[in-house]
Amino acid sequence: MSDTASLVSAVEILGSIEESYKTILTPEAIAFLVLLHRTFNTTRKALLARRVARQAAIDAGILPRFLPETKFIRDDPTWQGAPPAPGLVDRRVEITGPTDRKMVINALNSDVWTYMADFEDATSPTWENLVSGQANLYDAVRRQVDFTVPGGKAYKLRTDRLLPTLIVRPRGWHLEEKHFLVDGEPISGSIFDFGLYFFHNAHELVKRGSGPYFYLPKMESHLEARLWNDIFKLSQDMIAMPRGTIRGTVLIETILAAFEMEEIIYELREHSSGLNCGRWDYIFSFIKKFRHNPAFVLPDRSAVTMTSPFMESYVKLLIKTCHKRGVHAMGGMAAQIPIKSDAAANKAAMENVYKDKLREVNAGHDGTWVAHPALAAIASEVFNKHMPTPNQLFKRTEEVVVTEADLLNSKVQGSVTEGGIRKNLDIGLGYMEAWVRGVGCVPINYLMEDAATAEVSRSQLWQWVRHQVTTAEGIKVSKEYALRILEEETEKLEKSAPKGNKFRQAAQHFSTQITGEDYADFLTTLLYDDITKINSKSAKL
């Protein structure tokens, strides 16, 4: 490795340096990040520019299609992804959540097979959340994450069984880390999250019988998967680790990635551990990419289910693709949380979870996600009964044919209602208010909401106003109407929330996003400056 001191001198850390952070922000780890940034950031920015050009083409009427230039990859039956890595053979139930210390312990104590520790949609990327989250995972890998709340409860890792396999989701390619500058520019949030976790924990994980495993979010093309693969190869080389030790499961949560599933697995081959149905982000992407096209206007969020034509087609293609290439096809999130105050409502909610997981296992998924430990038993019951094997990679669906038109079929039964508009506003405001307070995973109406569901909410509102949709009640959804309902919902939420809440701040941002005019690429980039705390001078280690 190049001289550590000279590499570290290229860095300015504009966030605070607590004593506990120094285990993570070591000179050697910083030097590792600098090399990754200098090697790959130019490519990352070029790929982001490619996204902009692709959106312009879609806006001009050029719809996505299966790429003719990569047909040879899809037509070649001989290549396969990597065989499952240690700890990833059986993934029938995965729990997801942020990386605060309490969540890490609760997730690892859950009766699940894996835990996806999330630096992305379930984390508000404050400097404190990110670095303390890395410290929590560092301790969790070494089984030293126990702690006691002052004067209160003790949180300890269980010792009566093997703990779930740890998988980490770094931020997407579009996000930057403004508290960490290299050569005067912010480092990629993806590289920052991946690099710190990998550098500190890769060898320790392998020693303990696992490995450095990742979920890769928000990709829009196989070229973005190629970038991850190049980073994986170099990172392993830099710490003398055999290539293929890293594994990455790709969330297919953009409509563009759905047209390149085989190519994405192909790019990652020796590092691939499958694909996942990121349902809420996928709906968000579907609306976002085609937001200017009136043929793609969708009804209320509640009407857009996994059996909607474009969603069902995407699931079928994902399972067929993964099993054809020998990698896991992971199902989607059950976002429900227990309703302790209403037994009947809780029973109905849990029955819906059961039905959704039954649909997934019967379709051919090899595992599924839950957001709350209480749902693990339901998901496990379904998968244990209907998938007694560690996975069902052997279940081939070669007879399934999914066309380009199937993936773009926006004919969803349902209507736009005032109730749906108010629900979108409540979810968007509730999530954004929490996010600017530094909380990235929020229970709203007994569902665990993250950035993806807030994105669906604001994108639907934008789309309905843009195309002057008429509600089931006969009201045209105009800019004035949307802003009036926004004000009404903001006042309700402000009155019911504790003093010092940030609903007004959230509403100011939201008001720019629901009028059919301005449209931020992501809510997280729109809000990011609100949570940055930039020191005037670079912090000293």
Q: Which residues are catalytically annotated?
A: 169, 450
Round to whole Å and give the CA distance between 532 and 541.
20
Residue whose C-alpha is closest to residue 275's, from 367, 200, 343, 345? 367
> What token pair was written down for 165?
């396999």
Round to whole Å and give the CA distance between 66 and 221.
11
Q: Which residues pair with 148 in a beta bridge?
A: 154
Round to whole Å and give the CA distance between 402 and 101.
43
Beta carbons within 8 Å of 121's beta carbon, 6+ residues apart: 217, 281, 440, 450, 451, 452
Tell me the C-alpha to C-alpha distance, in Å, between residue 95 and each of 107, 109, 335, 375, 448.
7, 11, 11, 9, 12
Inter-residue contact 34 to 182 (CB < 8 Å): yes
Inter-residue contact 132 to 103 (CB < 8 Å): no
Question: With DSSP H G I counted as helix, E B as strand and the rest as coil, what are the percentages for the chain, rounded to 5?
Answer: 50, 15, 40
Helix (H) / strand (E) containing 337: none
Round to whole Å and give the CA distance between 330 and 273.
10
- φ and ψ at residue 533, rounded to 5 degrees: -125, 90
Round to whole Å and give the CA distance between 240 and 217.
26
Inter-residue contact 326 to 80 (CB < 8 Å): yes
Q: How many CA atoms lie within 13 A of 346 on its CB side?
A: 10
Beta carbons within 8 Å of 26's beta carbon, 6+ residues apart: 541
